[in-house]
Structure 1
Amino acid sequence: MAPISLKRYAVLASLCAATALAPLSVHAQQATVQDGIKVRPLSTSRIFAGGADFNAESKQQYAQLVNEAKEKNALVPDSDPQVKRLRAIAQRIIPFATRWNEAAANWNWQVNLLNSDEVNAFCMPGGQIAFYSGIITKLNLTDDEVAVVMGHEISHALREHSQAQAGKGNLAAVGAKLAGAGLSAWLGVDPNITSTATNMAAQGVMLKFSRDDEREADLIGMDLAARAGFDPRAGVILWQKMAAVSKGAPPEFLSTHPSGKDRISQMNSHMAQVLPLYARSKGVSVDALPPYRSNAIAQR
């Protein structure tokens, strides 16, 4: 009888693990059809992240980053033309943020520029945005390309991806622990061995979730930029530029970000949904739009 009991326990543990992870993708199948990119419900996984404590910690981290940059003379002053440029672009995008998250109407939006060669930008939960000067100078970004980058980063905050990732991480850890215990009982081996295998599997799941978030942010970022009067075709050029400066990146299946080729393909496949938004903002038809023109990438 004992072996049967252990097998049943193993099956039950595996089912519990699967059940813990299953809700993560249920709402991905629900969508409300609207113009532009479809608005989907926020992930229910974000409720497992810690709520107000998580958001408060994010604000504290941003404030600390800004203060440290200021102490190191790495915070670009408000009077700098690039800071004014970033904030002007943000002011055009922010009014459309509530379409994706109504709470954004009450966010304390901030935009800062950090003097760093790093090709990066981010938006913390609550609307705290930071650009690194490297992404602007090395990619020689046009306003449209800056808007696509900013829209992408804002989208992570609007869709509460950080909260959802934290919640998914907590659920994946529980699922991995249950599955490891069940597998150990089934095989009759050291639990440390099976826990290592299941933790690796859980990590792979989390990488997938992260790539999905990046893909969603790409599309919503184009949508936000287009509604604000920026050309969404800049997204394709942006990732062509990114590919030129990120050679040697890890394979997609081992990365938290999709490959540049994958992102460009997705953007092109949704261009028919976002290009009309841009044309509408300009008061013209899609056919009347001129070809997109970019800046040559900076030579290194």
Structure 2
Amino acid sequence: MAGAQWSKKEEPAREGVDVGEQSRMAGLVPAEKVEGAAQQQYRQLLQQAAAKRMLAGPDHPQLKRVRAISQRLIPSAVVWNPRAKNWKWEVNVIGASAINAFCMPGGKIAVFTGILDKLQLTDDEVAMVVGHEMAHALREHARERMAKNTATQVGARIGGAVLASIFGVDPNVTDLLARGGANLLTLKFGRNDESEADLIGMEIAARAGYDPRAAVTLWKKMAQAAKGAPPEWLSTHPSGTSRIAEIERNLPRVMPLYERTLAKR
């Protein structure tokens, strides 16, 4: 009997944050369809931005900076989703004043200059922003949200209006992109999704050698920016106080990952 007890090997405890299993709801929507729609909508966004001279060129310092940070994050990110190893990751910077950033399904990332310039983000804080947005795509929150949302056409029209307000284009242009489903550019996530993305993003950044304590300073800056009209990015996010408390509770889980990465350099 004693021998039998030792014959079963226990799985080693996973280092990092614990966010539970991925929602099964996401499986109700084909990943290929969602990622195909994301690529189409991302291309249209870039075309609109370029037409308005708002798309950062390859030599733009902010684009170089965000791409360099993102490239460090990607190897640590793909462990959260096996399919992500085959994604064609793209990173672009858009010259708009909105305090915003996103990562669409399939690894299509955009960061607005408003969040970089208005909040004067450090590289560590940029890593927290990009890691957070990557986490949404890796955990397939868009697929989950689409499965739950039975009014995708209504959501798409609202999304088109938001984009029109940013770029000054006819909402019908963006409406056309979303006829097959939700407008992924402006899809809203629930607060649980946002909290999950906070923790996963912080772990991704820590494994890539970015200080996870920057998540605290980032959200303090975001809270300060929200004292006036709350940034669009914060509309469905947890309150600054609760999210900072959750981040601080999880720092002991990720600091060793960060310190180990630094020691290897």
TM-score normalised according to structure 2 size: 0.76
Residue of structure 2 equivalent to 1:44: 24
Residue of structure 1 equivalent to 2:198: 218
5+ unaligned residues in a row in structure 1: which ranges?
1-31, 172-207, 285-300
In 2: Cα distance, 1:39 partner to 1:264 partner: 16
Residue of structure 2 equivalent to 1:150: 130
In 1: Cα distance, 2:80 partner to 2:20 partner: 8
In 2: Cα distance, 1:238 partner to 1:150 partner: 12
Match for residue 163 of structure 1 among 117, 138, 143:
143
Aligned length: 214
Match for residue 137 of structure 1 among 110, 117, 142:
117
SS in structure 2 of the partner of residue 230 of structure 1:
coil
Residue of structure 2 equivalent to 1:230: 210
Alignment of 1:86-125 (within 5 A): 86-125=66-105
5+ unaligned residues in a row in structure 2: which ranges?
1-11, 152-187
In 2: Cα distance, 1:39 partner to 1:216 partner: 6
SS in structure 1 of the partner of residue 190 of structure 2:
helix
SS in structure 1 of the partner of residue 149 of structure 2:
helix
CA contact (8 A) 1:33 1:39 kept: no
Change (3 A) 1:135 1:255: closer
Amino acid at match of 1:86: V
TM-score normalised according to structure 1 size: 0.68
CA contact (8 A) 1:37 1:274 kept: yes
CA contact (8 A) 2:17 2:200 kept: yes
Larger radius of gyration, structure 1 or 2?
1
Amino acid at match of 1:96: S
Amino acid at match of 2:203: D
Residue of structure 2 equivalent to 1:70: 50
Alignment of 1:1-300 (within 5 A): 33-38=13-18, 40-170=20-150, 210-248=190-228, 256-283=236-263
Q: Aligned-pair distance for 1:39?
A: 6.1
Residue of structure 2 equivalent to 1:174: none
Report which of the two has the higher share of helix.
1
SS in structure 2 of the partner of residue 77 of structure 1:
coil
CA contact (8 A) 2:93 2:112 kept: yes
In 1: Cα distance, 2:63 partner to 2:189 partner: 33
Identity of paired residues, percent? 50
CA contact (8 A) 1:112 1:129 kept: yes
- Runs of 4+ with deviation above 3 angstroms: none
In 2: Cα distance, 1:87 partner to 1:209 partner: 25
In 2: Cα distance, 1:99 partner to 1:123 partner: 17
